[in-house]
Structures are given as C-alpha cells and as structure tokens.
Structure 1
Amino acid sequence: MTCSDDDNVDRHVSPSFSSFSKPPPTTRRDNYSSISSSFRLSFSIKAISPARTNTIGMILTCLIGLALAGYATYVEIQVEKDDEYQAMCDISEKISCTKVFASRYGKGFGIIGWILGEESLLNTPNGELGIVFYIAIGILSFIEGPLSSKIQLFLAILSNCMSIYLAYLLYFVLDSFCIVCVGTYVANLILLFLTWQRFKHSNAHMFIAAHVDAAKLD
C-alpha cells in the first residue's frame, strides 16, 4: 500500500471518528420535551404527596357524610309530613331510620330542645347540623395553616363525642339500629383520623420552619 492510499484511508476514517466524538446538536423541540418531562414528574410527585392525599381523603369523606346527612334530613322532613312514611333504610322494627329520626333525639341531639325549648330555631334536625359540619370541614381542607387544622381537629373531636352519645341513645334508649346513623359515625371517625394527621403535619412544618429561622439568625 502506498502513501497516497494511506491518505485516502485517513480521509475516509477521520469523519466517522469525529461523528462519534461530538454529540448531536440539541434542538428547541428537544429542550421543550425535557422541560415537559420534568414538569410532569414534579407534578406527579406533588400529586401523590401525603398532604394532598390527606385533603382528597377528607373531601371524599365529607361528600359521603353530606350524602348521609342530606338523606337523613329528607327522611325527617317526610316523617313530619306523614307519620306512616317508611324510608329505604327501614328494614324491620329493630332496624329503622324513621324510628330514630322521629324521636325527640332526632332534633338538636335531644339537647338543644331541652335547653332552649322545642320551638327554638337552633333545634333543627340532626341531619341539617351534620350538613353544616361536613361543609365546614370541607372548606377548611382548602385553607392552609395551623389555625384551620386546629379548628378541623376540634370539630372532628366534637363530632365523635356526639357520635358516642348518639350511639348510646341508639342502642340503650331507642333500642334500634339506624344504618344511616352508623354510616355517619364511621365517616366522623375517619375524619378524626385525617384531621389528626393534618394537625401533626402542620405542626411538624411549623417546628421545622422555626428551627430554620433560628439557624439563619445564628
């Protein structure tokens, strides 16, 4: 092989090596794709964060509680119009919603009427009070900060105290089983757990923020 032949080989080989050594030029489309991928990744991580999961859980539980409280209110209104009205949750004499809602404990938890009188405007059906409670918890779920989490936890504790009181009346006084009532008790218990989790999460953020501020001052 002659020198000229070697030169021809070099000319043909060198471009191939240069093509491997230099990365392909990035285009604007590639940049947009990488940015979009990063955005989707960050959005997915944010979407499954514990705080967001907690909020979704509270909203779903509040919606279930609203449905139960709304149905309870509807049954109470129908019972006032017709003494012989039977709801879908009336299965037997021992398993009856109307029996519970038509009792004196079906309004104001049997407490407000005893204190303020049966004709008091505050002596409303328990279902209406439940609607107000679930709406309040749902609204507070979208308000960030330690104050809203404290109010939520207080309302959840109060609602569970009332659940224990009403469950006692249901079993020992009225001697009946109310499916709708028990459903609200379960919803209140779930909300107590979720509001407690949010309260702990909020306090942890406050603790970390306080220590970070103290470290900056030092």
Structure 2
Amino acid sequence: MFGLLISLYAFKIEYTLKRNKKYKALCEFNEKVSCFKAIKSKYGHLALVTLGFLGSIYLAYLSLIKLKTLCLICNSIYLINILLLIFSLEFKLFFD
C-alpha cells in the first residue's frame, strides 16, 4: 500500500508541476536532493511510459523466466504498476 501511495504522489508531483511551475513538493529540498530533477529528467520516462513500469516488466521477466518462480507479493506490485500506468494514461488523456 505504501508503494502505491508513493507512486501516486510521484504522479501528482509530475501532473501539478506541469500545471504550476512554482509548485514545491515535500520531497524538494535543494539541487542535490530533488524529486523534481529525477521525475522530470529524460531518465524518468521512456516515451510515454515511466521507467518504474519498465522496471516491473524486467523484474517480472527475471522472476518468471530466469528464476522460474511466481512471487505473489512481487506480482501484486507489478499489477499495481500496470494499473497505475493505465490510470495515468487515462488521466492524462482526460485532462489534456
């Protein structure tokens, strides 16, 4: 649940920052400690998909193919990430 909340907060930061350039999140301290810098960087996204989602796909591949195991907790996290992606894309299409 905590991971879901953190992911939703990251989405909120990105969405709010697009609307309000003066927005200051709780995780924004200075140049060295900056969630804005990470979220908005070219490394934070690949096309329209966040790298967190791609990371989940890679970890699912490792678990299922390489380790030949099914991790229920891990797969729950992967499912949450997929749902977050779908929600984010629909939210973006609705508000843009």
Please tell me the TM-score bracket, short chain as reference. Answer: 0.5 to 0.7
From 39, 51, 66, the counterpart of 1:173: 66
Unaligned runs of 5+ in 1: 1-63, 67-130, 204-218
Distance 1:199 1:146, change over 3 A: farther
Write the mapping of 1:43-192 to structure 2, written as runs, cut at 5 A: 64=1, 66=2, 131=3, 134-138=5-9, 140-141=11-12, 145=16, 147=18, 154=45, 157-192=50-85
Shift of 1:193: 0.7
Q: Which has the larger radius of gyration?
A: 1
- Show structure 1 runs of 4+ deviating over 2 A: 136-146, 154-157
Distance in 2, Cα, partners of 1:198 & 1:160: 17
Identify the structure with the greater strand proportion. 2
What does the per-residue CA deviation read over 1:93-126, in whole Å, with 9 as the maximum and x for residues that have no partner? xxxxxxxxxxxxxxxxxxxxxxxxxxxxxxxxxx
Unaligned runs of 5+ in 2: 20-38
Distance in 1, Cα, partners of 2:67 & 2:76: 17
Distance 1:137 1:172, change over 3 A: same
TM-score by length of 2: 0.55
Distance 1:140 1:192, change over 3 A: closer
Asked if 2 retains the 8 angstrom alpha-carbon contact of 1:146 and 1:202, the reply is no
What is the count of residue pairs matched by the alignment? 72
RMSD: 3.4
Distance 1:199 1:143, change over 3 A: same
Identify the structure with the greater helix proportion. 1
Residue 50 of structure 2 aligns to a residue whose secondary structure is helix
Distance in 2, Cα, partners of 1:164 & 1:144: 24
TM-score by length of 1: 0.27
